[in-house]
């Protein structure tokens, strides 16, 4: 098992590094093509819209055919989307690249299902925290690296080199899955647990109320997170005049505390507090961070808000994933986590489609303050998501 987790950890770092490279760049690309803020953020939301439609399918396919084929297939699609982004010369090419990337984004749900396969229930929160830390490392390093590769000046930034590097990283991740990572959901295990007809996400949520409450909590948390992620580059450009490089390093202020929480603190606190309490604490800190961002008038206040947001998300996300995994029965873990991922994808659609109009109509602080208010009900919802003992 240590070898499996080590290989999966490396895979997640490399995969999300390639994805993270492009996060600070897409809004600048759209602005260069002459796109207004209220239309830039929906381009970002198109990724999650396509992911929303396909995540449950990828999860169910991983239950039926194993985790490795899904990881390889989704990574191949991601590689193609990066190439399309690098060649984009108008907003429609950029939109097409994000839609393709979203449609092929089955790798994260499959990676978490893999981690759940190889960890016992009592250690699952710690294992998922470790995988979350690997993803955090990729985002943490990817965003400043992507900004550095693009350049400091928004007017002259180069977007081809980051896209090429992302393609190369996807190829490397495919090689790790193909040659290093063994199958966790083997043919023998699949034969012992015959594939059930795929149930729709809504039906699965109706059958498992705790999962439904948890998914609802994650919808509101991820909604405000996607508002932050989609509008921050535009906010930083207009308020401070910052280009891709500086924005990449500012987003580092969100990713670094999230990484530290998931990689170390969560592993210590989860056994003591339990996933529900830890998730609730994360929500409180995260809401405080959003409010600070909305009210901050100076750069130090903005950085403080980003640090609080990262800390809160670092506590909430692995705890919520652990609670979601406990709603599975072992053989349907991919479908359960795929459904849970779909709830996050729904929020990632709504956030970008609303953040741009909120910014344009109500001002720069509105997206952050509204996000904080919308997130507060997650405190009630997550307390209703107390999971039964896993029957894997």
DSSP assignment string, 256-272: HHHHHIIIIIHHHHHHH
Across residues 333-343, what is the average pLDDT?
Answer: 73
Across residues 262-291, what is the average pLDDT?
Answer: 86
Q: Is the dihedral of CA 363, 310, 350, 73 positive or negative?
A: positive
Answer yes or no: is 188 within a domain.
no
Number of other residues whose CB lies within 10 A of the CB of residue 110: 31
Q: What is the pTM of this model?
A: 0.75
Lowest mean pLDDT segment, chosen from 142-146, 154-158, 218-222: 154-158
pLDDT classification of 56: cutoffs 50, 70, 90: confident
CA distances from 41 to 38, 349, 351, 360, 386 (A): 6, 10, 8, 11, 35
**Going by C-beta distance under 8 Å and a sequence separation of 6 or more, which residues neighbour residue 156?**
none
CA distances from 172 to 10, 63, 97 (A): 10, 24, 20
Across residues 287-301, what is the average pLDDT?
Answer: 94
Q: What range defines the domain where residue 343 resides?
A: 2-181+200-383
Number of other residues whose CB lies within 10 A of the CB of residue 45: 23
**Does the pLDDT value for residue 390 go beyond 50?**
no
Q: What is the CATH number of the domain that holds 282?
A: 1.20.1250.20
**Does the pLDDT value for residue 228 go beyond 50?**
yes
Give 66's DSSP letter.
-
Answer yes or no: is 189 within a domain.
no
Cβ atoms of 166 and 19 within 8 Å: the answer is: yes
Q: Supply the pLDDT for residue 194.
A: 52
Across residues 367-389, what is the average pLDDT?
Answer: 86
Answer yes or no: is 136 within a domain.
yes
Answer yes or no: is 194 within a domain.
no
**Does the pLDDT value for residue 141 go beyond 60?**
yes
Residue pLDDT, tens place only, 167-223: 998 899 899 888 877 776 655 554 555 544 445 667 777 777 888 888 899 999 999
C-alpha span between 246 and 240 (Å, rounded): 10
Answer yes or no: is 346 within a domain.
yes
Across residues 264-279, what is the average pLDDT?
Answer: 82
Answer yes or no: is 390 within a domain.
no
Lowest mean pLDDT segment, chosen from 22-36, 38-52, 124-138, 341-355: 124-138
Q: Supply the pLDDT for residue 377.
A: 94
Answer yes or no: is 190 within a domain.
no
Q: Supply the pLDDT for residue 389.
A: 40
Q: What average pLDDT is seen over the chain? A: 83
- Give me 350's structure tokens: 């709504």
pLDDT classification of 38: cutoffs 50, 70, 90: confident
**Going by C-beta distance under 8 Å and a sequence separation of 6 or more, which residues neighbour residue 56?**
198, 200, 201, 335, 338, 339, 342
Answer yes or no: is 233 within a domain.
yes
**Does the pLDDT value for residue 70 go beyond 80?**
yes
Q: Supply the pLDDT for residue 392.
A: 43
The number of domains in the chain is: 1
Q: Supply the pLDDT for residue 287.
A: 97
C-alpha span between 273 and 38 (Å, rounded): 41
């Amino acid at each position: 098992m240590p070898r499996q987790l080590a290989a999966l950890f490396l895979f997640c770092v490399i995969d999300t590094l390639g994805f993270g490279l492009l996060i600070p760049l897409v809004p600048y690309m759209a602005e260069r093509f002459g796109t207004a803020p209220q239309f830039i953020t929906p381009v970002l939301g198109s990724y999650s819209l396509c992911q929303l439609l396909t995540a449950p399918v990828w999860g169910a396919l991983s239950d039926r055919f194993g985790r490795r084929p899904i990881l390889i297939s989704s990574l191949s699609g991601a590689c193609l989307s990066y190439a399309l982004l690098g060649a984009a010369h108008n907003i429609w090419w950029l939109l097409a690249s994000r839609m393709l990337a979203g449609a092929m984004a089955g790798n994260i749900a499959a990676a978490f299902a893999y981690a759940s396969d190889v960890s016992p229930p009592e250690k699952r929160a710690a294992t998922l925290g470790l995988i979350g830390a690997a993803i955090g490392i990729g985002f943490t390093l990817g965003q400043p690296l992507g900004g550095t590769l693009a350049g400091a000046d928004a007017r002259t930034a180069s977007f081809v080199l980051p896209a090429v590097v992302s393609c190369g990283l996807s190829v490397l991740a495919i090689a790790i899955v193909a040659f290093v990572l063994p199958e966790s959901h083997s043919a023998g295990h699949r034969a012992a647990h015959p594939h059930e007809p795929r149930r729709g996400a809504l039906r699965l949520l109706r059958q498992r109320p705790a999962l439904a409450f948890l998914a609802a909590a994650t919808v509101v948390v991820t909604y405000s997170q996607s508002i932050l992620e989609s509008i921050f580059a535009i906010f930083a450009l207009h308020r401070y005049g910052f280009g891709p490089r500086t924005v990449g390093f500012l987003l580092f202020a969100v990713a670094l505390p999230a990484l530290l929480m998931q990689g170390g603190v969560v592993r210590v606190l989860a056994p003591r507090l339990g996933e529900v309490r830890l998730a609730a604490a994360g929500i409180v800190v995260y809401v405080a961070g959003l409010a600070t961002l909305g009210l901050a008038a100076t750069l130090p206040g903005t950085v403080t808000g980003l640090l609080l947001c990262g800390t809160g998300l670092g506590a909430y996300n692995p705890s919520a994933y652990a609670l979601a995994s406990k709603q599975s029965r072992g053989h349907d873990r991919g479908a359960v986590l795929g459904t849970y991922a779909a709830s996050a994808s729904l929020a990632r659609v709504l956030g970008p489609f609303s953040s741009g109009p909120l910014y344009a109509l109500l001002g720069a602080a509105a997206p952050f303050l509204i996000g904080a208010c919308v997130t507060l009900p997650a405190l009630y919802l997550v307390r209703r998501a107390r999971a039964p003992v896993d029957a894997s």
